[in-house]
Structure 1
């Protein structure tokens, strides 16, 4: 009997230890959604939990259901015990979603990265969707701001989330804005103008398609 109790106790302790390691692996702080209760719409890139692979600055990688808050530029994960949303305590380096981001991008498995130089209102901790990787990267930053509208002679104001996305070029450790059109791209990549013009002519680049833009930049990186 004593041997059984000892074995049972050891098993319980082992389970508790394993559970503690899981909690330690993914620690989080509460996410206060109620701050958005008077705003129409939502602050998220995708308004549902999606599976994601998360890489931390310390080199650790985990998988979890996540959401991406575009107002606070913060990645959230689902608390397994009660399904509430939490912020990651440890700094996130990058994450990959197993779901597209809807109409904003036609890339099926979007990858987001951080660690780029500060620009506009972004810091090195800000996330960008990597449209094309390599020595010259095409990045896309999503942001939602809260717009307040008030009709003339009305005491009532409405607040709405407004989505914007801006493309950036990252090369030689420098980041700059770029527009997804032929003129802006040829100006930014002027060292290979003739080759790019030939590619654009023969491939009919769709500048509204991230997949098409990725192919163009991958071609440029191959030259």
Structure 2
């Protein structure tokens, strides 16, 4: 999926006071959290994975570090961190004023709001964790939050390294390939969502009259993800 970046990003980056590490240390001392991820064997800071330049594409949502706010497990917020989201590792890395790069400890991250990246719905791109474990994802897995409220519609943004062989030449190449899947979280339960109209509407029976009217007036197509996001967002706005 393509995301829209604010055209003011270079200016914003220039104006930022690069205090990422200072924020990290302050929050760590105040909460007792280990904000960075450490190697359990050496005790050293883990740094972002370096990929072979022979792999086509990028493992990142955006290749450059981008301003974002992070909400931690205890509710505190770290503002204007320069972050980068690795879709292949499902991890957040950050950089300081000396361009040192570190990996955030996902166990203490609950939400990431990118201040200059817009999703297809026109709102800031949000990553969110804290959902029950499902499939291969644990409760610390970061999903893209498409709609939040009584019903959460979330998206798994994953990239994998795929090996492709040319049957004629025998040439082998590798590239990052993106796969997306969608989940619904409601009533403390998470389920895979596959454009199942009836399953979604079963969660909205308490506002059936309003929802039916919205579907009719907006010609909601349940096979279009953008329409489903609009519907869930509307339903959540009724509370």
Q: Could you say which TM-score interval applies, normalised by the shorter chain?
A: 0.7 to 0.9
Q: How does 1:1-223 map to 2 (within 5 A)?
A: 22=23, 24-25=25-26, 28=36, 29-63=45-79, 64-81=81-98, 83-89=99-105, 91-100=108-117, 105-152=120-167, 154-179=169-194, 181=195, 184-190=196-202, 192=205, 195-205=210-220, 208=224, 210=226, 212-221=227-236, 222=238
Change beyond 3 A, Cα 1:50–1:155: same
Computing the radius of gyration from Cα coordinates, the structure with the larger value is: 1
The gaps in structure 1 that reach 5 residues or longer are: 1-17
Would you say how many aligned residue pairs link Structure 1 and Structure 2? 199
TM-score normalised according to structure 2 size: 0.72
In structure 2, C-alpha distance between the alignment counterparts of 1:22 and 1:31, rounded to whole Å: 18
In structure 2, C-alpha distance between the alignment counterparts of 1:200 and 1:19, rounded to whole Å: 45
> What's the CA shift string for 1:58-106, capped at 9, x where partnerless?
433212011100111001111222x24310246211110112356xx34
1:11 match: none
> What's the CA shift string for 1:112-132, capped at 9, x where partnerless?
110101112211010112211
Structure with greater proportional helix content: 1
Superposed CA RMSD:
2.8
The gaps in structure 2 that reach 5 residues or longer are: 1-18, 28-34, 37-44
